[in-house]
Amino acid sequence: MATNGHSTLQKLVSNDVSTLENPQSSTISFHSINYTIGTQKSSYSLPFMKMQHKQILYDINGVFKSGMNAILGPTGSGKSSLLDILADRKDRNGLEGEVLLDGQPQMSEYKYCVGYVVQDNILSETLTVRENIRFSANLRLSKTISRKTKATIVEHVIEQLGLEGCADSRVGTESVRGISGGERKRTSIGMELVLSPSVLFLDEPTTGLDSSTAHAVLESLHRLSRRGHTIIFSIHQPRYSIFKLFDTIFLVAAGRCVYHGPANSVLPYFSSIGYECEQHDNPADFLLDVTHADTSKNKVNNHELNKKNEENAHRLHDLYIASNVYTLMQQEIKAARNRIVTTATSAVNYHQPSTKSRFSEILYVAQRTLRNVYRNPALITMQTFVPTFLAVLIGLIYLKVDNSESVGVPNRMGAIFFIVVNQVMSNLSAIELFIKERALFIHENASGYYHVSTYFIAKLICDLIPLRIIPSIIFSTIVYFMIGFQSSVAKFFIFYLAIFLTTTCGASICFLSSASVKVFGVANLLAAMSFVLMMIFGGFLVVVSSVGKYLSWIKWVSLFRYAINIITINEFEGLEICPRNNPNNCTMSGTYVINNDAHIQYNNDWDLWYNFVALTCMIVIYFMLTYIQLLRMKKTK
């Protein structure tokens, strides 16, 4: 049934859409791979102190063809590092050697030829299985493929992976139960399979799964390998029923290759060098035991254990390179290096980047983000209820404030301060924007889903409009008329524009904090400290002119100051102030209050509008810094 589905999929694809043709029998070869990382000498070392270097991989060579290629080894042996290097997901600092796909080096198109499934299932949790896979198809397949064909491709991927029963179920969050761990893993695989990649990499695909679920996932991969895919994965300790599915084994110990060859030859090979696997032992457990030094007779500490394991790895490596298995593999490695010379067909020629427009990328990312928003009713309720409640509360406290000097003036100024503080502080919820989806963004951007700029624009639009701008409209409308600010259409729109810019500026600071720091608590603290410092120099809590020059400069970067200036000038300009006991004898002008009580310089219209310019410039600067932080965000391991 699955084979028929696969042939149907091929018929759906026109001849000019090369990315969806029958997967090429691609070969990955790697030559003289050495990988070194820098580590601190101790956990108490400071960042500027000299680092010591630790070599993770030593002169690794190998070749993986179509089929099930397993990278085995004990914890810390370097198997995940090797997988990431082959998938081009590793930082190239400290990396030597070359990786070839069908004889060609890793180029910019490489990520479109291969799929990569991370160890932790990185999915959009509020979307269904079908929606997640469709998102990948829409962004990664060529625009020449019709929407109908893409939908059919998605359905066949779902069928091939046995996801029909949960296709319309949401993945699930920490608070809302969703699909099982095995279904999550197969969904992650499906998001890569829509590309029909020549090579599929998987990092520990059985992690977190029970034995039966792990077997089901590996069975799915085995079926894919029989259709021509090159499946390469790291795995720690598979059970025997999974081990039987392997075609090739690459066994690594202490960063050195101690066996690379057919899976059905691994036990005879180790038997030939003196390691006999007992009849009822799991071969995978046996191989891990072989790579560990025998310390059963003497107790050793961690340092001595590591030293003995390295000595054991050295010895096993020397035995391997002296074997016939090594000689045969070297011949295959050389043939793989020269493959492009004798073969005009290569996966690189058949997989080209999607030619989606930036607008299409923004559209698809925005659609997903909006789905996340409206499928979180608690968020929508709070973003509507809280500003309404606070607006009514402020309105009741300052209800229909009068124009008296003793009560009206301080109440108006207090209300303005309260309004600005509320609008700024309410944006602290924006801090989770880039922290919550950090891993998802890094994975999708590294896999070629979209550009950083399109992701950034889509997230801003979908956060600012429903979660910042609409609540600010609700808040402004209620509070303005309940307090009884001046009843002028022009003044109301100036008030709302000030609220909009204040909200957006506060959000932009939270966005920057979110993009700069990985930990939510730290990002929240940084943003809150910035807001408190700006609030102190906003002009309401302290007369800024009385502060020494060494601190008074902070007023120029205080969004509170600019927001309070705008609303204060807008409200008091043209207002007549009267004694409370004689409301008909108004002897004080609002302009006097602005200049003397509020300590705001106001002589002409520019004294109002330069505050708008300042807020706008701050918003642009913070957005630019946020974008730069997203660009700088480490996309490799």
pLDDT tens string 211-267: 888 898 999 899 889 888 899 999 988 999 999 999 999 999 999 999 999 999 999
Find tokens 């696997």 and name the residue.
277
| Residue 44, pLDDT score | 46
Q: What is the side-by-side strand order in the sheet with 52-64?
A: 52-64, 28-39, 95-101, 104-105
Report the distance separating Cα 384 and Cα 426, nearest Å: 12
The predicted-structure confidence for 91-141, as pLDDT tens digits, reads as follows 888 899 999 988 888 877 787 788 999 888 789 988 999 999 999 999 988
| Residue 9, pLDDT score | 41
Lowest mean pLDDT among 101-115, 186-200, 345-359: 345-359
Give me 45's structure tokens: 């070392």
| Residue 320, pLDDT score | 94
Comparing 376 with 22, the larger pLDDT belongs to: 376
Quick check: 595 and 569 in contact, CB under 8 A?
A: no
Q: Where do the structural domains in the chain lie, given as residue ranges?
A: 2-347, 358-632
Cβ-in-10-Å burial (0-12, 13-18, 19+) of 440 comes to: middle
| Residue 75, pLDDT score | 87
Mean pLDDT of the chain: 85
CATH architecture, domain 2-347:
3-Layer(aba) Sandwich (3.40)
Give the contacts of 209 (CB within 8 A, at least 6 positions apart).
Answer: 181, 182, 185, 217
Give me 237's structure tokens: 């300790």
Q: Give the count of beta carbons closer than 10 Å to the beta carbon of residue 558.
A: 22
Report the distance separating Cα 269 and Cα 616, nearest Å: 70
Report the distance separating Cα 31 and Cα 330, nearest Å: 10
Quick check: 86 and 30 in contact, CB under 8 A?
A: yes
b/e code 14-50 from CB counts within 10 Å (16+ = b):
eeebebbeebbebbbbbbebebbeeeeeeeeeeeeee
| Residue 580, pLDDT score | 72
Give me 105's structure tokens: 């080096």
The predicted-structure confidence for 479-518, as pLDDT tens digits, reads as follows 999 999 998 999 999 999 999 999 999 999 999 999 999 8
| Residue 366, pLDDT score | 94
Helix (H) or strand (E) holding 528: helix 520-536
Give me 606's structure tokens: 């520019």
The predicted-structure confidence for 390-405, as pLDDT tens digits, reads as follows 999 999 999 999 888 8
Give the contacts of 414 (CB within 8 A, at least 6 positions apart).
Answer: 398
